[in-house]
């Protein structure tokens, strides 16, 4: 398990507002990492920097030894916190697109996930609910055999009944040697799958620890520990 992600002195400002303040960390492959923090603390901004959606930052970001660019985009499977579909598209169109651009996309896997989620591959996006679109997006992202999965609020718009199904889908489908970073507010639902957690407050990384270490030191669950920290 080598270092897959190296971040050094990462700072991002919007005008005078510092959203990420001098963040440094390194993450290994084969881990599931929870990215936790209150609204507006910089979680999504950090994800956007890693995916290359934000480019005007200072500091160093290396993913598999490379700065965010064409190569890193080919190994990162990213689930944003919003839906990126055009209304007149169908799931099958999205499969075609992913198959065309990502060599690691497994169409069969995506189709199976669609069946699991009870989604019709020919249904137009504009007739799908937000939750259905989120499930489709998860199927697309998890059907890639990527080295890094960045999942921003994967359970955000999902009803409580389907959350377990989503979590199982994530756990069943990610490549074992991959690094999975999950940003979430719903710590209680997800904490059992984390190997380590990163906690961000006002752009500063305040906790970067193994889950076992937190439990042993504090004797608390991750959610309780989170409440204590914030």
CB of 214 to another protein, least distance (A): 32
Please work out the total of residues on this chain that contact another protein, with binding judged by CB under 8 A.
27
- CA 69, 95, 47, 215 dihedral sign is negative
Query: Does the footprint of another protein cover residue 107 (CB under 8 A)?
Result: no
The helix/strand/coil state of 174 is: coil
Query: Does the footprint of another protein cover residue 90 (CB under 8 A)?
Result: no
Short-list 110, 80, 87, 170, CA closest to 102: 110
214: its two tokens: 């937190």
C-alpha neighbours within 13 Å on the C-beta side of residue 80: 10
CB of 198 to another protein, least distance (A): 21
Query: Does the footprint of another protein cover residue 76 (CB under 8 A)?
Result: yes
CB of 229 to another protein, least distance (A): 29
Cα–Cα distance, 157 to 129 (Å, whole number): 10
Q: Which of 5, 23, 78, 143 binds another protein (CB under 8 A)?
A: 78
DSSP 191: G
Query: Does the footprint of another protein cover residue 56 (CB under 8 A)?
Result: yes
Short-list 83, 81, 95, 104, CA closest to 185: 81
Query: Does the footprint of another protein cover residue 85 (CB under 8 A)?
Result: yes
CB of 56 to another protein, least distance (A): 5
Binding window for another protein (CB under 8 A); candidates: 8-16, 107-115, 161-169, 191-199? 8-16
Q: Which lies closer to another protein via its Cβ, residue 63 or residue 211? A: 63
Query: Does the footprint of another protein cover residue 124 (CB under 8 A)?
Result: no
- Which residues make beta-bridge pairs with 14? 17
Q: Which lies closer to another protein via its Cβ, residue 46 or residue 54? A: 54
- Which residues make beta-bridge pairs with 182? 34, 151
Contact (CB, 8 A) for 44 and 33: no
Query: Does the footprint of another protein cover residue 84 (CB under 8 A)?
Result: yes
Binding window for another protein (CB under 8 A); candidates: 25-33, 75-83, 122-130, 174-182? 75-83
Query: Does the footprint of another protein cover residue 59 (CB under 8 A)?
Result: no
Query: Does the footprint of another protein cover residue 82 (CB under 8 A)?
Result: yes
Cα–Cα distance, 97 to 107 (Å, whole number): 11
158: its two tokens: 């999902």
Give residue 143's region: left, alpha or beta (phi > 0; psi -120 to 50): alpha
Positions in the binding site for another protein (CB under 8 A): 13-15, 48, 51-56, 69-71, 73-74, 76, 78, 80, 82-86, 97, 100-102
């Amino acid at each position: 398990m080598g270092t897959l992600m190296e971040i050094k002195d990462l700072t991002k400002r919007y005008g005078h507002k510092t959203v990420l303040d001098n963040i440094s960390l390194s993450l290994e492959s084969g881990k599931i990492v929870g990215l936790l923090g209150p609204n507006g603390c910089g979680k999504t901004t950090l994800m956007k920097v890693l995916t290359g959606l934000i480019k005007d930052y200072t500091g160093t970001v290396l993913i598999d030894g490379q700065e965010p660019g064409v190569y890193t985009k080919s190994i990162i499977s990213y689930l944003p916190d919003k839906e990126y579909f055009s209304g007149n598209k169908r799931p099958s169109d999205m499969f075609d697109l992913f198959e065309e651009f990502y060599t690691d996309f497994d169409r069969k896997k995506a189709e199976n996930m669609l069946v699991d989620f009870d989604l019709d591959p020919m249904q137009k996006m504009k007739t799908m609910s937000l939750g259905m679109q989120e499930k489709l997006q998860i199927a697309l992202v998890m059907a890639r055999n990527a080295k890094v999965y960045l999942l921003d609020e994967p359970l955000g718009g999902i009803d409580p009944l389907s959350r377990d199904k989503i979590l199982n889908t994530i756990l069943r489908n990610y490549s074992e040697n991959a690094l999975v970073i999950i940003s979430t507010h719903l710590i209680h639902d997800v904490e059992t799958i984390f190997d380590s957690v990163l906690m961000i407050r006002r752009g500063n990384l305040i906790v970067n620890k193994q889950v076992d270490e937190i439990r042993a030191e504090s004797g608390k669950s991750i959610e309780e520990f989170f409440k204590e920290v914030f």
